[in-house]
Structure 1
Amino acid sequence: MKQVVLAPAKLNLTLDVLGKRPDGYHDLRMVMQSVELADRIELETGTGRGLEVRTDLSFLPNNEKNLAAAAALKLQERSGKRADGLSIAIEKRVPVCAGMGGGSSDAAAVLRALNEGLGVGLSRMELAALGMEVGSDVPYCVLGGTALAEGRGERLTPLPALPRCHVVICKPAFSISTPELFRAVDGVKLRCRPDTEGAIAALRDGDLAGVARRMYNVFADVLPARQGAEVAEIRTALVNYGALGASMSGTGPTVFGLFDREDLAREAWKGLRALYRDTFLTRTSGEDM
């Protein structure tokens, strides 16, 4: 059987680090949002050739180290239902190492597709719990839409949908070390934290501008100086183009802005695309596509 699924990128409307846990992980509190920018995945079961993984980026793993493959193996192991050979072909559209959950979303899309295709029958929340064994962002990516994620990301509370809007996404041409940022957060007293409750209240009121004003990511405060300055410049540029608010997603370095007018969003996209190759114009979405 062949299936084609999309794996939408995620954005962090808010991101707070509450502290380090005894197990070495961190407790997080984040309002998450999916967008229409998505990887495209083709799956075929019953190939009789074992597990095959292909991507259009040569540096990505093409074995069980790929999160999509790891998710497929985990679901088959847990359910006892076998694909009798599985081919996974991933067309990457979401930038990698960007704080947008691209690999996690690929894994979540494969879980959803095989859950249906193999007749496993897990509920969305059961599938999200299984996804935690693959990666911390996978549970949210299984759920999609607008949600509060807590703990390592496994405690999910669906929220009222963010009003549909235009999004400009810009990834500068450098990567950020996630472990280094967590160590940096552990070494300072954070002066500012997101107004998560205010953002949730604005979502309940359908107040897009109210959500945008409250977007905040504590990791932006502990970036290395040069990278932090560039992230701040992009954020300022988005606001100057007319974004209702702008913030960094995940551990970065991607910056995004929310727009209530398409013409302003398109101008921002054109302007930033001239400076940064990985610049995208998209929209927010509801549940995963």
Structure 2
Amino acid sequence: MTILVTGATGQFGGLAVRHLLDRVPAAELAVSVRDAGKAADLAERGVEVREGDFDAPETLRFDGVDTLLLVSANGPDAIRLIGQNAAVDAAVRAGVGRIVYTSVTDATTSPLELAKVHAGTEERIKASGVPYTFLRNGMYHENYLGGLPQALERGTLVTATGEGRVASASRDDLALAAAIVVTTEGHDGAAYELTGPAAWSFDELAALAADLTGKPLAHVSVPGPELAANLAAVGLPGFLAELLADIQVNISRGALSEVRPDLGKLIGREPKSIADAVRSAL
């Protein structure tokens, strides 16, 4: 059996590879990365490293692969969709036996702009005729932790989420679920909705961070366009600032708040909570 992971030097892909190495011999694992040099540590462990770029489909080598863990790419949505669809087509040409794709919560019905890319890629995979599994990952806890130290210094946590709640999960738990699905049977045709164990608000996040550090922290919600402008002003690319603001506005409207049992069932325990993540981060 050969398993190939795309984006294996990224945050999610790297964690997935780590969990896969706990479950299968390195000789059964391959990775596809843009820069082979960044995967030198994996090569030293016996993992086959293939250099490939979604934006240059002719470089993608999926030959001899039984299961492809297709980790969704980063970048502007239109470019991502083209690249991911090209990867699906390359998998078909190579005769890949199964595709496991990292999608997003409620991909086909979500109001998030982000979901359109994932819905489009899911559609391409379904049309390919290759057996598939969709891992519809919720938001990562980690998305909301990196800015906490700066927020604590300012005394304010600024979002566009209002009183909305989000059922986020840890990136590591989601990567573990991916490794389990890739290495076990019985998942063909499944679309797993993967969330954390509880939905939380940003008022609660601010209160938790304040309690842990002893520093006052108030949550302040602003309109989406104002948040996008603030993010762009501190150097985020325009497409990313708009994407993050769109997610937060939709959180304020109730998207991403539903708690689902799939993640806990796959990993065999309750997923890590946002409180666990904040304690580790701070």
The TM-score, its normalising length taken from structure 2, stands at 0.29
TM-score, length basis structure 1: 0.28
Structure in which a larger fraction of residues adopt helix: 2
Question: Which has more strand, going by share of residues?
Answer: 1
